[in-house]
Amino acid sequence: MRFITIYANYIYKIPNFFICIFAELIPVKAQRQNFRNRLFKVHVKFFYKKLAVTTLDKKIVICRPHGGFNDMLVRITKCYEYAKKYNRILYIDTRRSGFLDDFDKYFSASEEIFLNASCLLSLTNVSKSDNEKLKIIVNSAFNTQAVFDFSKDCEEQILVYEESGGGDDGIFAFEWLLLKDDVKKRITDIIKPLGKYDAIHVRHSDYKTNYKKFFADINDKLGDKIVLCTDSFECQTYAKEFWGEKLHIVTSIPDTKGKPLHMNEKLDRFQTNLDALTDLFVLACSQNLYFTMMKKGWISGFGNLAKSLHERQYLLNRLLYK
């Protein structure tokens, strides 16, 4: 069994990058894409069919969200609601999301939900006959998505969902998620000394905004204590010059040359994710919240999540102080 577990971890960590490189050697584009799809399906099916073993009295949903933090929560909420409706156990794997880390380092769940899908490897009490009966549904294009029909109770025992995409439903995950004690302490230790303050969120990495004009437009509305949360080193540097001592910086932004903080493997993922969570709650706990608009007048997913938390004080109290 130990050998199987070690082998499983090795297979699981095979990067799809190498599959891409290998596939590029095939000269015809259509053949290359077909090869990618087939190879990826084999990779996913092998992992879940051979390793996601469990007793057959429970059905499972494995949620593997992509994207930034709000996108993750939106996808997780979708799987949570499906699992509740059809009496399935929810497993969450955020290692391929913008977090690039296990979700259970930051959160716990108030229900029977597993925030680290690797725990499936420890469920080994399945007989050979049971294992042969195990059914799985994976419908995947190469490295993009694995989806199933959320409108019905699928017969397969294990459903794998892997997709990106934002929306407004991410806030509802905070109804059952709990911050880990060390994460909660880190956040509250920063928020408490701030007292009353106005907070600003600026996204200026993959999406660009005219933050200089934005700062000038809102300057007269702001109080004497300002907190800026941004993903841009350039924006943070300018804000320090613009507001001087009125500005309070709670998290330092590395100079990523415009690359988003999420999906950035070069950064310390735990510290980066912890800073992002700190920013989220600092924004939500502000007296007044301001955020820049993206193209066509929409708010970034992270900004929208902060706004939703800001409007739900009962969730803030539950997550930070209970």
For position 31, what pLDDT does the model report? Answer: 53
Give the integer Cα–Cα distance in Å for 312 and 309. 5
User: What is the DSSP track for 183-226?
Assistant: HHHHHHHHHGGG-S-EEEEE--SSS---HHHHHHHHGGG--S-E
How many CA atoms does the CB half-sphere of 316 hold within 13 Å? 20
For position 125, what pLDDT does the model report? Answer: 37
Which candidate, 179, 177, 152, 4, places its Cα nearest to that of 77? Answer: 177
For position 296, what pLDDT does the model report? Answer: 66
What pTM does this model have? 0.76
For position 157, what pLDDT does the model report? Answer: 85
Mean pLDDT for the chain overall:
78
For 269-294, what is each residue's pLDDT tens digit?
899 999 999 999 999 999 999 998 77
Give the integer Cα–Cα distance in Å for 316 and 197. 16
For position 112, what pLDDT does the model report? Answer: 81
Whole-number Cα distances in Å, 134 to 44, 50, 127, 145, 269? 15, 9, 11, 22, 35
Query: In what order do the strands lie in the sheet containing 288-291?
Result: 247-248, 226-230, 198-202, 288-291
The neighbouring-strand residues paired with 91 are 62, 114
Domains of the chain plus CATH, in order, are 2-175 (3.40.50), 181-321 (3.40.50.11350)
Residue stretches of the chain with pLDDT short of 50: 1-24, 26, 28-30, 32-33, 36-56, 121-144
For position 57, what pLDDT does the model report? Answer: 66
| Phi then psi dihedrals of residue 308, to 5 deg | -65, -40
For position 267, what pLDDT does the model report? Answer: 73
